[in-house]
Amino acid sequence: MVGFTSFAERTDPEVVARIVDAAFRQLAEVVAEHGGTVDKYMGDSMLAVFGVPVAHDDDAERAVAAGLAVRALGATWPSPSGSTPAR
């Protein structure tokens, strides 16, 4: 998310944790809806895999569809400055 580091530096850590947790829940739902699995969370990043534990012929397409859906979801969130949608 553009501006996340500066937002996190000037915001109460508990508030940042709640925002990140809520975002990860929404992102994990998108991944699951497209047949993916969240492999791990790393700070403010999430790694999702497709084709694990069961491979499908269309795993690559599912991954791309999930990525586009994640991008669309992120566009609905306010930016850390509150002025524009997050990216």
Q: Label residue 84 by pLDDT band (50, 70, 90).
A: low
Q: What does the block give as tokens for 52?
A: 């694990």
The DSSP annotation for the chain comes to -TTHHHHHHTS-HHHHHHHHHHHHHHHHHHHHHTTEEEEEEETTEEEEEESSSS--TTHHHHHHHHHHHHHHHHTTSBPTTSSSB--
Q: What is the pLDDT of residues 24-58, one digit of tens each?
A: 999 999 999 999 999 999 887 899 999 998 999 99
Cα–chain center distance at 14 = 19
